[in-house]
């Protein structure tokens, strides 16, 4: 049922004032809605504990030196309106850091501060799309891209769907598929690209990003490049920015911020890197939407990358103080990701995880679990959404269904391993594997290992990664 129909049929609402039916095209971020359901089950006390693998939040808390800067700024009464684009010194600090890490000259005029990373998605569409223009999104991908694209175009965006490896069911985005979309469609204005990726935790190679950059120049579209997890990479992998390709500053809207790398999700402080002319438009839109990012948050963001002087007060750069804290957090993410991958692999081919490459997600395939007789016939579980709901309601395990991230995610689960290792990741992984073993046994299918063997294997993996 459409949103407008639900609204008009609700007798408790008065007066019956209709509203913008374009909202029927708007989606949502399912993890927030799912989180509400998790809270309800948790409050019911049905289970001693809910194992939380659904949260796209950071496990670590904000580093103390960041909090200290905010406290000092508040003590200095830095509470009035701030610069609508972001204070020049703050943007200069970010620009210098981006120049050093991306290998291309970025100026403060290329930077806009925003309340979180999401606004850049809507700003890009509002600033660039005309009536007949089209948008390409990855499938599966972060759902807000498709949600806002559908809302503003009144149709579904074009989908660059990942191919499934038939052997291990891992997903891969092939540039040739993207090129085919470009060849067969007109008026493509935007491509939304995310690496390291939510929901899969996969990273896109430099070779592919360079190929995409050449397509952007050839077909003259803008790439909304979301690399909000750019510092959270594993096994010596280095994040490659599409901005590093010569000439791509003209074709890139780089969405980034403090949320994931600096464990500041609730602070809502992001920034966008884009051509100067586009930043000017974004600034005009921003004034109409949020006026400015809070003064305290701007100071905090500035000190992450350099010194900040404002209204007679000096705030020293905290980069050296927070770097060891961040590196320890990233190392913990990597250990948890590898632990989860190896643990899930114990029940292959019934659950098939991908390697942990970056961010803090795995995207295991569960199609062979859904095919089990007991699951499909007795439990009447038909798809990943049913399975996710059953895991939460009947087993106290929270994970997002893969299809919430697009049709390319059908038959998968998104598992976030951001939460605390001892309270959630280790015992929760063990709990999930026990559930799967039980489902196999009830389907008269021999599991790859017994419950007793599972306990021993988990202990071995725990020693391997966390001792």
Per-residue pLDDT, averaged over 39-49, amounts to 96
Bridge partners, residue 257, by sequence? 270
Strand partners, 254: 225, 273
CA distances from 156 to 49, 137, 145, 427 (A): 39, 10, 11, 40
CB neighbours of residue 438 within 10 Å? 14
Same domain, 315 and 344: no
Tally of domains in the chain? 2
Cα end-to-end span (Å), the chain: 52
Please write the tens of the pLDDT for every residue from 322-376. Answer: 999 999 999 999 999 999 999 999 999 999 999 999 999 999 999 999 999 999 9
Rounded CA-CA distance 229/238 in Å is 12
Last residue of a domain, one of 320, 336, 371: 320
Hey, is 93 helix, strand or coil? helix
Q: Which of 294, 320, 346 is the last residue of a domain?
A: 320
Q: For 174-182, which contacts have Cβ atoms below 8 Å and span 24 or more sequence positions? A: 175/208, 175/211, 175/212, 175/215, 178/136, 178/212, 178/215, 179/215, 181/136, 182/215, 182/219, 182/221
Q: Which three-class secondary structure string do you get for 370-435?
A: HCCHHHHHHCCCCCHHHHHHHHHHHHCEECEEHHHHCHHHCCEEEEECCCCHHHHHHHHHHHHHHH
Instruction: Indicate if 165 and 36 belong to the same structural domain.
Output: no
Alpha-helix residue ranges (DSSP H) falling in 173-318: 175-184, 206-219, 276-289, 295-305
Question: Within its chain, how far is the Cα of 341 from the centroid?
Answer: 19
Angle, CA of 230, 231 and 233, to the nearest 5°: 90
Helix (H) or strand (E) holding 149: helix 143-153
User: Cβ contacts of residue 376 below 8 Å, gap of 6+?
Assistant: 370, 382
Pairing of β 51-52 and β 188-194: unpaired
Q: What is the mean pLDDT of the chain?
A: 95
**At 301, which CATH number?**
3.40.640.10
354 and 245 part of one domain: no
pLDDT one-digit tens code per residue, 60-70: 999 999 999 99
Q: What confidence tier does 9 reach under pLDDT thresholds 50, 70, 90?
A: low
Three-state DSSP class for 160? strand
Q: Domain check: are 98 and 243 in the same one?
A: yes
Q: What is the pLDDT of residue 319?
A: 98
The answer on 457 and 379 residing in a single domain is yes
Beta bridge partners of 271: 113, 256
Identify whether residues 25 and 137 lie together within a single domain.
no
The pLDDT tens digits of the residues spanning 180-198 come to 999 999 999 999 999 999 9
Report the DSSP beta bridge partners of residue 191. Answer: 136, 223
- Clarify whether residues 328 and 346 are in a common domain: yes
58-114 pLDDT, tens digit per residue, is: 889 999 999 999 999 999 999 999 999 999 999 999 999 999 999 999 999 999 999
Q: Residue 164, SS3?
A: strand
Alpha-carbon span 329 to 61, nearest angstrom? 10
Beta bridge partners of 88: none
Half-sphere exposure of 185 (CA within 13 A, CB side): 22
Domain that holds residue 451: 3-60+324-466
- Same domain as 33, residue 105: no
> What confidence category does residue 17 fall into, taking pLDDT thresholds of 50, 70 and 90?
low
Q: pLDDT tier at 1 (50, 70, 90 boundaries)? A: low
Strands (DSSP E) found in 240-327 = 252-257, 270-273, 308-310, 313-315
Beta bridge partners of 113: 271
Q: CA–CA separation, 2 vs 19, rounded Å?
A: 12
Other CB atoms within a 10 A radius of the CB of residue 48 amount to: 6
Residues 211, 213, 216, 219, CA torsion sign: negative
Burial class (CB in 10 A: 0-12, 13-18, 19+), 122: middle
Q: How far apart are CA 153 and CA 318, in angstroms?
A: 43
Predicted TM-score (pTM) of the model is 0.94
Same domain, 308 and 277: yes
- Residues 299 and 339 reside in one and the same domain: no
Angstrom distance (rounded) from CA 250 to CA 255: 15
Q: Over range 233-255, report the average pLDDT.
A: 98
CA nearest to 291, candidates 125, 113, 91, 122:
113
Question: Is the model's pLDDT at 29 over the cut of 90?
Answer: no
- Which residue among 275, 305, 320 closes a domain? 320
Residue 281 reports pLDDT greater than 80: yes
For the domain that residue 30 is a member of, what is the CATH number?
3.90.1150.10
pLDDT for residue 31 is more than 80? no
Query: Could you tell me if 359 and 452 lie in one domain?
Result: yes
Q: Are residues 258 and 403 in the same domain?
A: no
Alpha carbon 149 to its chain's center: 17
């Amino acid at each position: 049922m459409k949103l407008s129909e639900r609204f008009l049929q609700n007798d408790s609402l008065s007066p019956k004032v209709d509203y913008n039916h374009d909202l029927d095209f708007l989606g949502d971020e399912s993890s927030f809605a799912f989180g509400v359901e998790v809270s309800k089950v948790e409050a019911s006390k049905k289970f001693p504990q809910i194992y939380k693998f659904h949260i796209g939040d950071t496990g670590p808390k904000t580093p103390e030196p960041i909090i200290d800067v905010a406290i000092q700024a508040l003590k200095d009464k830095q509470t009035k309106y701030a610069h609508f684009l972001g204070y020049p010194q703050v943007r200069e600090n970010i620009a210098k850091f981006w120049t050093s890490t991306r290998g291309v000259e970025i100026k403060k005029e290329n930077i806009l501060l925003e309340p979180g990373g999401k606004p850049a998605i809507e700003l890009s569409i509002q600033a660039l799309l005309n009536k007949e223009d089209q948008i390409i999104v990855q499938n599966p991908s972060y759902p807000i891209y498709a949600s806002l694209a559908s809302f503003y175009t009144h149709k579904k965006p074009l989908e660059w769907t990942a191919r499934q490896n038939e052997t291990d069911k891992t997903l891969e985005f092939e540039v040739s598929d993207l090129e085919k979309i470009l060849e067969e469609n007109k008026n493509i204005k935007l491509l939304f690209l995310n690496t390291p990726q939510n929901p899969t935790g996969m990273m896109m190679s430099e070779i592919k990003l360079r190929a995409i950059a050449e397509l952007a120049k050839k077909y003259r579209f803008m790439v909304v490049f979301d690399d909000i997890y750019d510092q959270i990479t594993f096994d010596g992998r280095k994040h490659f920015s599409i901005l590093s390709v010569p000439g791509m500053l003209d074709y890139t809207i780089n969405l980034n911020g403090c949320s994931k790398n600096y464990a500041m999700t609730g602070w809502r402080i992001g920034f966008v890197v884009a051509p100067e002319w586009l930043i000017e438009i974004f600034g005009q839109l921003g004034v109409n939407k949020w006026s400015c990012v809070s003064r305290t948050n701007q100071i905090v963001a500035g000190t992450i990358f350099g010194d900040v002087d404002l209204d007679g007060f000096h705030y020293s750069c905290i980069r050296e103080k927070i770097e060891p804290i961040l590196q320890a957090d990233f190392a913990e993410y990597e250990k948890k990701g590898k632990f989860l991958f190896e643990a899930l692999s114990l029940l292959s081919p019934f659950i098939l995880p991908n390697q942990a490459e970056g961010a803090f997600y795995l995207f295991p395939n569960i199609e062979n679990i859904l095919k089990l007789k007991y699951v499909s016939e007795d439990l009447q579980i038909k798809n990943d959404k049913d399975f996710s709901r059953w895991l939460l309601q009947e087993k106290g395990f929270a994970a997002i269904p893969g299809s919430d991230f697009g049709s390319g995610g059908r038959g998968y689960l998104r598992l976030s391993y951001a939460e605390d290792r001892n309270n959630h990741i280790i015992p929760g992984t063990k709990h999930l594997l026990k559930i799967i073993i039980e489902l196999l046994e009830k389907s008269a299918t021999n599991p790859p290992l017994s419950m007793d063997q599972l306990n021993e294997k988990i202990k071995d993996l725990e020693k391997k990664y966390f001792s």
